[in-house]
């Protein structure tokens, strides 16, 4: 009888430990992917920028982090790879700024035209505090959206993905 009592007493603890050790695999559609039938010539494309101020400072990355509330896999590393969007459809875009351990993001909606090529621009308004981001025509540099102000904050030792992943979940 005493053994049965001990087994049942510790069963919830054993179940909790087993559940904690289980690692869930990411959902197959957890990241943004353009539709398969979308050709680069017909799509809206958005590309980021990277500024290398000097050999003493870290690079500034300005990139598209998410589309339609789905993050882009390895977004910072693919800052210069055009992200394709379906034209003439509302898309929610999340733009990100990263400079060393400083990070900021802003989101807004966009409806692009077929074949439109856009680039992300950023201007730091106050070092380590605020910046503004907007989209420009990649060929002419003409602004295509208004300028959106964002707060820049230190990451504090966590990855750049953590603050925004909380936004998507």
pTM over 0.75: no
pLDDT for residue 28: 59
The CA-atom distances, in angstroms, between 26 and each of 37, 71, 93 are 24, 12, 22
Q: What is the pLDDT of residues 63-121, one digit of tens each?
A: 999 999 999 999 999 999 999 999 999 999 999 999 888 899 999 999 999 999 999 99
Whole-angstrom distance, CA of residue 164 vs CA of residue 134: 19
């Amino acid at each position: 009888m005493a053994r049965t009592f001990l087994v049942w007493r510790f069963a919830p603890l054993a179940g909790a430990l087993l559940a904690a050790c289980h690692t869930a695999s990411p959902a197959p559609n957890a990241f943004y992917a353009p539709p398969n039938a979308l050709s680069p010539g017909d799509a809206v494309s958005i590309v980021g920028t990277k500024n290398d101020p000097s050999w003493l400072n870290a690079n500034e990355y300005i990139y598209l982090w998410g589309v339609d509330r789905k993050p882009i896999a390895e977004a910072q590393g693919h800052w210069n790879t055009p992200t394709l969007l379906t034209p003439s459809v509302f898309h929610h875009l999340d733009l990100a700024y990263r400079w060393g351990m400083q990070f900021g993001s802003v989101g807004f909606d966009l409806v692009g035209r077929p074949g439109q090529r856009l680039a992300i621009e950023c201007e730091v308004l106050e070092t380590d505090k605020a910046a503004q981001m907007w989209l420009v025509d990649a060929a002419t540099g003409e602004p295509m959206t208004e300028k959106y102000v964002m707060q820049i904050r230190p990451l504090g030792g966590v990855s750049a993905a953590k603050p925004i992943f909380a936004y998507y979940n």
